[in-house]
Amino acid sequence: MQEQHAAIQYVEGRGIPLRGNDIDTDQIIPARFMKRVTFEGLGEFAFYDHRYDTDGSPTKQHPLNDSRFRGGSILIVNSNFGCGSSREHAPQALARFGIRAVIGESFGEIFAGNCIAMGIPAISLPHHDIEQIMQAVEAEPATPITVYIRDEVLSIGEHRYHFDLSPAYRNALLSGAWDSTSAMLNNLEETKKTAQRLPYTRNFEPAGAQ
């Protein structure tokens, strides 16, 4: 039996403040980079048009290019982040860049759901709290941030911020149920029985079933 995917109790890391409202999924990952067969390698194209000049030189000012925030894994954003098209490539690109949680004022609904489906908490806080957190990270980029899923608390320095995560999203993260692939692998016999009942998957053999 495969090892069950670890539940996500908390996420800890350094922050990357990204200011601006209504940053849509086309800005997160431009459509021309979505032609790949898999999601591998998408991280290098995250916010590409905001980070690079037309000749591919990384000269544009952007937090993801800023050495102060290098290695950060918690993206801090403003309102309506991830709006626009429902492309799954947006959170995939962020994850492959190294982002493990997104903290913001509000999110595109489908974007937030896609994040949770990848085990990336999308946490909403009021504008005042987000501004305080951004200022704290900009002043001291090395300050660690911890997002506690069960207690619904974000900790940075001496400050604590309470957030509300929908019960469905919270339970999915805490139980590990967000990872549907692991759920299938941990229930191979039931998965194989279900597959055999479907005419288009009768020869289905889950990866790792050997």
Identify whether 210 is part of a domain: no
Number of domains forming the structure of the chain: 1
- Going by pLDDT thresholds of 50, 70 and 90, the confidence category of residue 96 is very high
In this prediction, residue 61 carries a pLDDT of: 87
Q: Is 182 part of a structural domain of the chain?
A: no
Check residue 203 and give its pLDDT.
57
pLDDT value of position 60 = 81
Q: Is residue 164 part of a domain?
A: yes
Chain centre to alpha carbon of residue 166? 16
CA distance 188 to 25: 35
What's the whole-number average pLDDT of the chain? 85
Please check whether residue 181 lies inside any domain of the structure: no
Which CATH number goes with the domain that contains 83? 3.20.19.10
pLDDT higher at 53 or 160: 160
State pLDDT tens for residues 12-51: 999 999 999 999 999 999 888 777 656 777 888 899 999 9
Judged on CB neighbours under 10 Å (0-12, 13-18, 19+), 143 is middle
Task: Tell me the pLDDT tens digit for each residue of 107-117.
Answer: 999 999 999 99
Higher-confidence residue of 24 and 177: namely 24
pLDDT beyond 50 at 1: no
What are the strands of the beta sheet with 101-104, ordered from one edge?
A: 122-124, 101-104, 74-76, 10-17, 144-148, 153-156, 159-162
Place of tokens 């019960």: 167
Q: Taking residues 171-176, report their average pLDDT.
A: 91
Task: For 66, list phi and psi in degrees, rounded to 5.
Answer: -80, 120
Please give the model's pTM, rounded to 2 decimal places.
0.81
Q: Is pLDDT larger for residue 182 or for residue 87?
A: 87
Q: Which domain holds residue 75?
A: 10-175
Q: Which of 123-137, 149-163, 176-190 has the lowest mean pLDDT?
A: 176-190
Residue 207 pLDDT greater than 90, yes or no: no
- Of 21-25, 51-55, 115-119, 191-195, give the lowest mean pLDDT range: 191-195
Residue 188 lies in a domain: no
